[in-house]
Amino acid sequence: MSIQWFPGHMTQARKKAAETLAMADVVVEVLDARLPMASSNPMIHELRAFRQRPCLKLLNKADMADPLATQAWLDYFAGQPGVKAVAISCKKASDVARVTGLAQKLAPHRNDAIKPLRLMIMGIPNVGKSTLMNALVKKRVAAVGDQPAVTKSQQRIDISSRLTIYDTPGMLWPKIAHPVDGLMLAASHAVGVNAYIDEEVATFLAGYLLEAYPALLKARYGFATESLDAVSVIEAIAKKRGCLLKGRGGELDLEKAALILLIDYRSGALGRISMETPARRAARATLLAEAAADSAEND
């Protein structure tokens, strides 16, 4: 299953972001801590590399991610030039309070009323940019919603004579190259619901949880996982939660069960879960490269 989602407003958002970045000093890229690389838009990297702007990567929702995986990602990003990464929760005032100071260190020459620090908040949909903006400004200036791409236009906010923030709409990229990335993004609610089928995404998620976090499945739903596959996990959830189709003689409502699993993951009810690690992503890249090489040889 290949998931693609690039609404028309995102093309205009990219053009506007490229123009605004010429005036910004630091890119603050908000990522989902559960999938930091899959939720990192390559277009953002291209834009800031062209303008040679440093980047503060905020691994948001860190309180919902596996702490060991998060630390591995922080170590990974620490090796990238011009990048500072920090794990936060945008819902915690103490975490948000650190953001300006961390960004300031990436642009020490912008530190007074004559040369105010100009931050550009960027990221894909539904990673917490609007929550971050509202917390930084300390009032509601950005719409916050459960659906991706709530914010559709850019805005500039002068917080003080020393700090200006540009808020940008959530942007995906025109083609998600790796199907697994699309599934992770869909599971994490970063793409529109019209771009995927809940059951297919939930089956992918169930398979991953069986491999990486079987104990969390057992703790949440109360069934043993040893003899299950991804499809039977959805069936077991349906049985446990009484998901039945009306007038169908007790037939399981797998669509409803799939949505229960997705909501439990998205809300953190399942526990602290990371969908990828640097090592796991590197291994997957190697397998993809080998598969591509084999395909080229057979052509």
Q: Over the chain (299 residues), what is each successive 10-residue block's mean pLDDT?
A: 62 78 93 96 90 96 98 96 96 94 92 88 90 84 53 77 88 83 94 90 98 97 96 97 88 97 97 96 81 70
pLDDT number for residue 142: 59
Closest listed residue to residue 48, CA positions, set 108, 135, 136, 107: 107
pLDDT number for residue 170: 80
Domain 197-293 part of CATH 1.20.1250.20: no
pLDDT number for residue 122: 92
What does the alpha-carbon distance between residue 36 and residue 31 come to, in Å, rounded to a whole number? Answer: 6
pLDDT number for residue 195: 87
Domain boundaries, the chain: 8-167, 197-293
pLDDT number for residue 278: 96
What does the alpha-carbon distance between residue 108 and residue 200 come to, in Å, rounded to a whole number? Answer: 48
pLDDT number for residue 149: 46
What does the alpha-carbon distance between residue 125 and residue 190 come to, in Å, rounded to a whole number? Answer: 5
Q: Is 185 left (phi over 0), alpha (psi -120 to 50) or beta?
A: alpha
As beta bridge partners, residue 167 has 121, 155
pLDDT number for residue 9: 58
pLDDT number for residue 8: 55
CA 10 vs. chain centroid, Å, equals: 17
Give domain 8-167's CATH superfamily: P-loop containing nucleotide triphosphate hydrolases (3.40.50.300)
